[in-house]
């Protein structure tokens, strides 16, 4: 069995444009393989939030119309689209629209001054090995970034 040393971080590392990169953890396997994994979150402005969650808006129609049509054709709903989408949004809430992976990291962005009034939610737009070779516009944790670079270089070196 390949033993692994896991170090959990869940810390904000840096920003590229409006994408905030977090290090979830670093994994070091006994066979020498090592990885840094992360999550990328994007703040959703109040205006975008209102637009994307409007049950009668283009975004909701474009996102859900095909699913509703499939349900109608397969006999799994007799509801009209408007009624069906209102039920979906009522039952699933914002998670029907946004990827809330990394929800537990939101507070770190709130501490940067992104209020819930101005940015109601943050959406996950990437995860996994999303930290390697990233050129950040702004770095929030230089020491952690140094560790990430070391671990990624160590992993690259073992393949050369």
Residue 131 has pLDDT above 90, yes or no: no
Handedness of CA 20, 140, 16, 109 (dihedral sign): positive
> Model pTM?
0.89
Residue of 153 and 81 predicted with greater confidence: 81
Contact 83, 103 (CB under 8 A): no
Residue with tokens 């979830």: 24
- Average pLDDT over the chain reads 93
For residues 150 and 156, what is the distance between their CA atoms, to the nearest angstrom? 10
Residue range(s) defining the domain that contains residue 90: 4-157
For residues 31 and 38, what is the distance between their CA atoms, to the nearest angstrom? 22
Q: What is the pLDDT of residue 159?
A: 62
For residues 48 and 96, what is the distance between their CA atoms, to the nearest angstrom? 15
Residue of 2 and 39 predicted with greater confidence: 39
Q: What is the pLDDT of residue 1?
A: 58
Our count of domains for the chain comes to 1
């Amino acid at each position: 069995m390949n033993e692994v040393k896991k170090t959990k971080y869940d810390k904000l590392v840096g920003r590229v444009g409006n994408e905030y990169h977090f290090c979830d953890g670093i994994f070091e396997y006994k066979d020498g393989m090592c990885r840094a994994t992360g999550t990328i979150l994007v703040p959703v402005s109040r205006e975008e939030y209102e637009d994307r969650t409007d049950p009668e808006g283009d975004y909701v129609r474009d996102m859900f119309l095909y699913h509703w049509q499939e349900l109608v054709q397969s006999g799994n709903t007799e509801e009209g689209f408007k009624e069906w989408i209102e039920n979906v949004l009522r039952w699933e809430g914002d998670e029907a629209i946004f990827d809330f992976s990394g929800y537990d990291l939101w507070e770190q962005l709130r501490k940067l001054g992104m209020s819930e009034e101005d940015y109601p939610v943050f959406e996950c737009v990437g995860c996994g090995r999303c930290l390697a070779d990233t050129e950040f516009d702004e770095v929030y944790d230089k020491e952690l970034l140094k560790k990430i670079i070391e671990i990624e270089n160590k992993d690259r070196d073992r393949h050369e």
